Amino acid sequence: MKKDDCIFCKIANGEIPSATLYEDERFRVILDLGPASKGHALILPKEHYPNLYELPDELAEKVILLAKKMIVKMTKALDCDGFNVVQNNGAPAGQTVFHFHMHLIPRYENDDAGFGWNTGELSEADKEDILAKMREID
Ligand code: 5GP
Ligand code: ZN
């Protein structure tokens, strides 16, 4: 299903032109207009799903295979030195466009893409709390 007011639905389905690196019946891979590094791309499903929680398993399987295929090809094409494969779910996680997408961010030695997070330390209390809560859900 497409969502009328969704820009990524329109891009994925070719209603809005985009720099397309790959397309098949389910996905389009485009260059990000606000790239973190040269070659930053986005995998977009053609159907509208807001996030990974709602992405059907069948597409979730395919998207990781496509990510692998794309980064292999892009590494050869761009001669980059690594890749971040990133996928944000929810505004607190940095999601700004609420149509599932996967970021493919080429990394170059000494680039200033600056992707990362502040690391803490796993406390005993948090560890026990999380393990207990996860067991309760099973
Ligand atoms: P998010 O923050 O939701 O994980 O990522 C959204 C991404 O989409 C951002 O990296 C942003 O630069 C990119 N973006 C937003 N609007 C457009 C657009 O109209 N075209 C393209 N190609 N990228 C877009
Ligand atoms: Zn959409």
Q: How far is the CA of 137 from the centre of ligand 2 (A)?
A: 31
pLDDT of residue 138: 75
Print the SS3 string covering 22-75. EECCCEEEEECCCCCCCCCEEEEECCCCCCHHHCCHHHHHHHHHHHHHHHHHHH
Print the SS3 string covering 97-120. CCCCCEEEEEECCCCCCCCCCCCC
Q: Which residues line ligand 1 (CB under 6 A)?
A: 7, 11, 18, 30-34, 42, 88, 94-97
pLDDT in tens, 65-112: 999 999 999 999 999 999 999 999 999 999 999 999 999 999 999 999
Which residues belong to the active site? 101
Spell out which residues have Cβ within 5 A of ligand 2, the ion: 3, 6, 8-9, 48, 99
